[in-house]
Amino acid sequence: MTRLQQIHYSEDSFEAQSVISALTNDDVALISGVEQDIADDLIFSVCELLGLDESLELQAGFASIQGHRQTRNDFYMTVNRRRPYQFIPPHSEGSSFSKMQLAAFYCIENSTDGGETILWHVNANATDWNHLKEKKRKCKVIGTLTDADKHKIRTSYQLDVDSDRLLQDEEILTSQKIHENVTMYEVLSKPEKTHSIILDSYQYAYWDSISSLDHDCAIRFQEYCKRQSLLKVCSNNSFPMDNAAQRRLRNFGVNFDELFDHTVIHKLQPGQLIIFNNISWAHSAANWTPDSGVRNVVGAFA
């Protein structure tokens, strides 16, 4: 059974509600025949129906301010730059702080010999979460803070001083005094469920802040790509394949067979827009042989 619901776009008959139906069924929506400017209207109308339109605008705004991604049209941004032979192991965009609900990728060109999009549905009954960790910011506060201080800390450090207090069982990685009354810690914390607006339920998400710490995430993904004949290998092994190699801390032993219960493999074609729940589905991308073609895929998040 595939969980990829294919929808063909036509100006007269397309209804954003068909995408909502796929999403509330926890399926992936793949819309074909979408011109680049229509892709903007389309993602906006889907987000509007879900009450995520403000979040969509905010995310596109952040991306252009921070400059780590360039924006395309109104809401799409370039995906992270890839060095030769690099792949992107599974992750949900963002963290339990950002609680990003929806992800979409639009394909402008994908003429390489690889670059398949692979989506992974999180198994709600997995017990694997017990040994995974999320990298989070926590704090200790002495005395009181004004609302203005709290707001400033929230926007500058992505830290909620009221709810993000350091817990005893959290492993501290770094500490930094960010206010005379506040010390901020980077810690390894137990993953917690996040509310999915689309499904109206609490779910674990394989956030980037969980997956990118774990060497095993990249190892398991490389093995998976090899088994599926999706791995392109450099003849002299001179290029590291894992795009997040520098952020990985240790082996947390993730087991994809337990963590995920369904995968969708799809090589996006020009004019295709793929939309899915960013909490219940993690995304990844296979690598390709350098100079085999161009992969120009842009993403939108809300």
Q: Summarize as ranges the residues that interact with Fe ion (CB under 5 A).
A: 93
Cβ partners under 8 Å of residue 238, min gap 6: none
User: At closest approach, how far in Å is the CB of 280 from Fe ion?
Assistant: 15
Using alpha carbons, select from 34, 37, 42 the residue that is nearest to residue 72: 37
By C-beta, is 93 or 214 nearer to Fe ion? 93
Give min distance, CB of 283 to Fe ion, in A: 6
CB closer to Fe ion, 185 vs 209: 209
Cβ proximity to Fe ion, 196 vs 243, nearer residue: 243
Query: What is the separation of C-alpha 126 from the centre of its chain, rounded to a whole number of angstroms?
Result: 19
Distance CA 289, CA 286 (A): 10
User: SS3 for 46?
Assistant: helix
Torsion of CA 114, 213, 211, 266, to 10 degrees: 0
Which stretches of 232-293 are assigned E, i.e. beta strand?
260-266, 273-277, 281-285
Residue number of the CB atom closest to Fe ion:
93
Residue with Cβ nearer Fe ion (23 or 298): 298
At closest approach, how far in Å is the CB of 93 from Fe ion? Answer: 5
Nearer to Fe ion by C-beta: 114 or 139?
114
DSSP string, 179-230: ETTEEEEEEEE----EEETTTTEEE---BHHHHTTBHHHHHHHHHHHHHTT-
Tell me which residue of 123, 248, 137, 132 sits closest to 192, measured CA to CA.
Answer: 132
CB nearer Fe ion, residue 34 or residue 282 = 282
Residue number, 95 or 166, with CB nearest to Fe ion: 95
CB of 208 to Fe ion, least distance (A): 7
Q: How far is the CB of 298 from Fe ion (least distance, A)?
A: 12
Shortest distance, position 5 Cβ to Fe ion, whole Å: 21
Distance CA 85, CA 234 (A): 7
Number of CB atoms found within 10 A of residue 81's CB: 9
CA distance linking residue 156 with residue 148, whole number of Å: 12
Q: Least distance in Å: CB of 161 to Fe ion? A: 28
| Residue given tokens 């692979």 in the structure block | 118
